[in-house]
């Protein structure tokens, strides 16, 4: 029984860390005893005794507070500047090209060089550690954040454009979750760097009343115990602030990016007819659509049929305004549409309900009712969509498209990956939520037209859209 308890305790992370610290303290004590010179290597006991004498004094806390305030000010200023520059670089390629040599230079220049140069430029060395910390943090935050922003799936900003999420919702629910891991990693590295570089700057500049000055004085006095004591203080400060800040950052990330969004504001979008008039589209000299002319009236369901590669998705993108025709016209221009894309384009960190509320003006209760009609259980609709199956994600995409406030609904292979029962339920949901809008479904499966009670249009790349027939 005792051995089982001991084994369980040894698996505790805190105990493993404590044992590791105890091990290295023993190694330190043994090394100090072997050297037998306090001038070369002070023992842990001597360091703790020195530290016990320093902590009660007001001068100790004044020194700690002074250096901490300057270094953390440099960190937060560097964090803000790095985030702002990364956002600008992600939005504008010329800014990225312009900043690249500067960021590379700042990353490569040694701390000592920056410190010596700053001593030439600054009249007062009091803020030297703030400046150096700032310079060390900016490139780390910039590079990590920029990489994360550039890695965002281009399909999600397109989805945001179609559903007209607006800049704030797009930034909060699409870009912020993507950037969060990079920012977190940058902060972890940056906090360590700013303490190392900030204190090093204080040592070189001999900043009055700073941790660096205390280290410099310990060196002048040949006091290894003082040197180790102040070094231990710096390590504890760095470790403590890193843990506190990363914990606060994690809570902020959850509150900003993961919490279920408020419903989309309702926008008046009365049902409207869609029309493609003599539309041509080519890619790399290869014609995909040739003179397609077709209209989609409010209240009707139309299935655009064609084999894979015949231009169905291209026609959908033209109707959505995500691409422009080489010739011809799509009308009306600027009308709000909703779409269930062939690839789901869901925000992975949000639940099924959250994805619907992000783009639709419905209440949470209305969204939950829709998911129950689609065969979801209560716990499933509240799970992050990244944990759902492909068929469940398909139904989330359909729910978002149908519950959105739009003039017409476009569906790309809407029942892909659904079995018989789920297909029938999804088709009934689409028919029930059409609300007088045109429903345009592009598919290669003739059964979809029957499920939607839709007329069919046979799309042919060389001849445009052939005559339609009712189903």
CATH no. for residue 310?
3.40.50.300
pLDDT per position as a tens digit, 321-366:
999 998 999 988 888 899 999 888 999 989 999 999 999 999 999 9
Mean pLDDT of 23-27: 81
**Pair type for strands 274-283 and 327-331:** antiparallel
**Res. 285: pLDDT tops 50:** yes
Evaluate whether residue 100 is within a structural domain: yes
pLDDT digits (tens, 9 = 90+) for 259-281: 788 888 877 668 888 998 988 88
Do 125 and 166 fall within a single domain? Answer: yes
Question: What is the total residue count of the chain?
Answer: 471
**Phi, psi values for residue 438, rounded to 5°:** -70, 135
Average pLDDT (293-308) is 88
Domain residues for the domain of 123 are 48-258
Question: Is 167 among the domain residues?
Answer: yes
**pLDDT per position as a tens digit, 236-245:** 999 999 999 9
pTM score above 0.85: no
Q: DSSP readout, 279-293?
A: EEEEETTEEEEEEEE
Tell whether 284 and 251 lie within a shared domain: no
Q: Are residues 314 and 441 in the same domain?
A: yes
Please check whether residue 269 lies inside any domain of the structure: no
Domain shared by 309 and 179, yes or no: no
Same domain, 93 and 228: yes
Q: Domain boundary at 210, 232, 258, which?
A: 258
What pLDDT, in 10s, does the model give residues 416-459?
Answer: 888 888 899 999 999 999 888 999 999 888 888 888 888 888 87
pLDDT (0 to 100) of residue 467: 39
- CA dist 431 to 121, 175, 296, 426, 444, Å? 72, 34, 16, 9, 19
Number of domains the chain is built from:
3
Q: What percent of the chain has pLDDT over 70?
A: 93
Same-domain status, 437 and 371: yes
In percent, the amount of the chain with pLDDT more than 90 equals 43
Q: Verify that 397 and 249 share a domain, yes or no.
A: no
Q: Are residues 373 and 305 in the same domain?
A: yes
Average pLDDT over residues 157-161: 93
Q: Are residues 110 and 209 in the same domain?
A: yes
23 inside domain:
yes
Least confident span in 17-31, 170-184, 428-442: 17-31
Please check whether residue 265 lies inside any domain of the structure.
Answer: no
* Residue 165: partners with Cβ closer than 8 Å, 6 or more residues away: 173, 174, 264, 358, 359
Rounded to 5 degrees, what are φ and ψ at 279? -85, 130
Looking at the fold, whether 133 and 192 belong to one and the same domain comes out as: yes
What average pLDDT is seen over the chain? 86
DSSP-assigned beta bridge partners for residue 384: 351
Please report which confidence band the pLDDT of residue 11 belongs to, taking 50, 70 and 90 as the band edges. Answer: low
């Amino acid at each position: 029984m005792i051995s089982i308890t001991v084994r369980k305790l040894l698996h505790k992370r805190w105990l493993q860390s404590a044992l590791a610290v105890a091990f290295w303290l023993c190694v330190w004590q043994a090394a100090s005893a072997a050297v037998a010179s306090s001038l070369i290597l002070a023992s842990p006991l001597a360091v703790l005794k020195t530290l016990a004498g320093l902590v009660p004094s007001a001068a100790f806390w004044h020194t700690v507070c002074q250096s901490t305030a300057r270094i953390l000010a440099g960190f937060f200023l560097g964090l803000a500047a790095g985030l702002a520059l990364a956002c600008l670089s992600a939005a504008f390629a010329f800014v990225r090209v312009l900043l690249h040599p500067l960021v590379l230079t700042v990353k490569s220049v040694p701390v000592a060089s920056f410190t010596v140069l700053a001593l030439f430029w600054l009249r007062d060395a009091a803020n030297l550690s703030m400046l150096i910390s700032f310079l060390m943090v900016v490139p780390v935050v910039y590079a990590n954040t920029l990489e994360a922003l550039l890695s965002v799936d281009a399909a999600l900003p397109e989805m945001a454009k179609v559903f007209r999420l607006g800049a704030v919702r797009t930034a909060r629910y699409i870009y912020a979750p993507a950037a969060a891991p990079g920012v977190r990693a940058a902060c972890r590295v940056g906090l360590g760097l700013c303490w190392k570089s900030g204190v090093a700057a204080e040592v070189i500049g001999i900043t009055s009343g700073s941790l660096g000055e205390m280290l410099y004085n310990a060196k002048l006095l040949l006091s290894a115990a003082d040197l180790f004591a102040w070094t231990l203080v710096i390590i504890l400060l760095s470790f403590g602030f890193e843990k506190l800040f990363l914990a606060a950052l994690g809570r902020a990330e959850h509150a900003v990016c993961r919490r279920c969004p408020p419903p989309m504001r309702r926008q008046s979008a009365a049902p409207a007819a869609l029309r493609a008039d003599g539309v041509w589209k080519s890619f790399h000299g290869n014609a995909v659509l040739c003179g397609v002319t077709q209209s989609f009236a409010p209240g009707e369901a139309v299935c655009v049929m064609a084999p894979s590669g015949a231009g169905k998705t291209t026609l959908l993108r033209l109707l959505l305004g995500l691409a422009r025709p080489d010739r011809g016209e799509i009308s009306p221009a600027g009308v709000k549409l909703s779409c269930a894309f062939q690839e789901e384009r869901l925000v992975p960190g949000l639940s099924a309900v959250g994805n619907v509320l992000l783009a639709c003006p419905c209440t949470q209760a209305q969204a939950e009712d829709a998911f129950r009609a689609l065969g979801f259980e209560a716990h499933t609709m509240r799970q992050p969509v990244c944990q759902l199956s492909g068929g469940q994600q398909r139904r989330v995409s359909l729910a978002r498209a149908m519950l959105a406030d739009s003039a017409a609904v476009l569906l790309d292979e809407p029942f892909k990956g659904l079995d018989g029962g789920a297909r029938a339920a999804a088709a009934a949901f689409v028919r029930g939520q059409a609300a007088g809008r045109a429903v345009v479904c592009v598919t290669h499966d003739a059964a979809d037209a029957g499920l939607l009670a839709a007329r069919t249009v046979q799309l042919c790349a060389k001849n445009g859209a052939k005559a339609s027939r009712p189903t």
